[in-house]
Amino acid sequence: MDLNNLDDLSQQVMERKIMLDEDGFQFLNGNHGTGAFDRLQKIDLDGIPKMKHLFKGVIKPPSLYSLMFLAIGSCPSLKSLFSESIALCMVNLQSLSISNCEMLEEVVSMDIKENEITQMLEFPKLQTIHLEELRNFRSFRCGSNKTVGELNPLFKQVTFPNLELLHISGLGRNVKILDELRQIRSHKLTELRVEKLDDVYILFDFEYKKDDVEIIILGQLTSLALTSLPDLVHITRMVPKGIYIFENLRHVLIGVCHNLRYLFSPSMANSLAALENLWVLGCKELEEIIGGQDEDGTSNTKIVEERTTSRIVFPKLRNLGLLHLDRFRLLSSQNHEFVFPSLEYLHIQNCPTIAKLCPRQLSVPKLDKVWINFEQSVDISNFLNLEGIQVSS
């Protein structure tokens, strides 16, 4: 904690915290006058075992007006960070990171009484949220009305209109990602990371969606990372026909999702017009990139039987990595023609059942490097423009 730029009251409080034995520190206590912490820009606290709250007491605007970065980690007794009235002071907060706080239930505790109507809470400048390893986390703000068996949205009654990055990992509760994106109401979200969640079977399920809010939000994404989702079966499902939800997606990482058998349907694959990097690793059941079913759940078997060839183009894909995929066989078992006009680098490692990337010819005019680990045998003789490609292991 840098004390050089704090106002006098902030410096006294923070110096008192530092002088205390951290094992006995529970919260920044007391009712502070107007302007307390008004020059404080960053709070970074880690490894304080008995801290139950970050702030407790009354703090009024313009206190905390300059706070932009808040990071809390490894505080096992922490139950909430601050009250709603204190949250209203954080109008310039840009980054929030909370990790390894096993008792944390909520970020914002409510000031209202039971059955009182809650107002929407907005963090107008918050750009990044990291919530990691919070096994008892219930909601960003739980409220006083608690129905037994009812699961509150993760971001209940709170909005982040300028959120750009959302990272959730290791939460001990069910999370419906598409519903949460609707709650957030951000028109600037470009990066989504989802990790270590159980009971996530379908990430983006549009079966019961009646408007375009989620479609618009997903259309903004440029980066998607999905790792350690053991129950994930489908990334998307029931996307309305003719709708492209990932038209701006540039970077995709899929890792350790052991129930995935394929990544995209044929129609979804053709919507990935901006995709530049695709890395897939450690998915034990994954067999192909493009599956045999479309978003409505219907099979393409009839098309294949009629020997009709569909063309799948990844116009901007430059890097493709396939690593540690025990059952991966080829790009698609269906009769697709693949075109990769921008592919420059192909990395294949520890994919023991792969023989060819696809049964048909593969157009890769810019490919100049193929990396295949030395134990692997992959036939690339069907690659068009094979001359000049450097193959290494």
Give pLDDT tens digits for 6-19: 444 444 444 444 43
Q: Give the model's pLDDT for residue 239.
A: 85
The DSSP secondary structure of 139-178, one letter per residue, reads: -SS--S---TT----TTTTEE-TT--EEEEEEESS---HH
Give pLDDT tens digits for 121-134: 999 999 999 999 99
Q: Give the model's pLDDT for residue 39.
A: 86
Q: Given the DSSP bridges, would you call strands 202-205 and 234-237 parallel, antiparallel or unpaired?
A: parallel
What number is the average pLDDT over the span 58-73?
Answer: 89
Residue, of 304 and 32, whose pLDDT is higher: 32
Residue, of 182 and 309, whose pLDDT is higher: 182
Residue, of 386 and 213, whose pLDDT is higher: 213
Confidence of residue 115 (pLDDT cuts 50, 70, 90): low
- Most confident listed range (30-39, 141-150, 243-252): 243-252
Residue, of 143 and 155, whose pLDDT is higher: 155
Residue, of 213 and 67, whose pLDDT is higher: 67
Q: Give the model's pLDDT for residue 26.
A: 53
What number is the average pLDDT over the span 382-391?
Answer: 62
**Tokens of residue 55, six digits:** 């702030």
Q: Cis ω on the peptide bond leading into residue 161 (within 30° of 0)? A: no
How many degrees, rounded to 5, is the angle at CA 144 between CA 199 and CA 174? 5
Share of the chain above pLDDT 90, in %: 52
Exposure b/e, 185-217, CB count within 10 A at least 16 = b: bbeebbbbbbbebeebebbbbbeebeeeebbeb
Phi-psi region of 238 (alpha: psi -120 to 50; beta: other; left: phi over 0): left
Q: With 80 as the cut, is the pLDDT of residue 152 above it?
A: yes
Confidence of residue 298 (pLDDT cuts 50, 70, 90): very low
Q: 392: closest CA among 380, 282, 382?
A: 380
Residue, of 266 and 256, whose pLDDT is higher: 256
Give pLDDT tens digits for 195-242: 999 999 999 998 877 678 888 899 999 999 999 999 999 999 888 887
Q: Give the model's pLDDT for residue 358.
A: 85
- Output the average pLDDT for the chain: 83
Cα 48 from chain centroid (whole Å): 27
- Tally of residues, the chain: 393
Give pLDDT tens digits for 168-194: 999 988 899 988 998 888 989 999 999
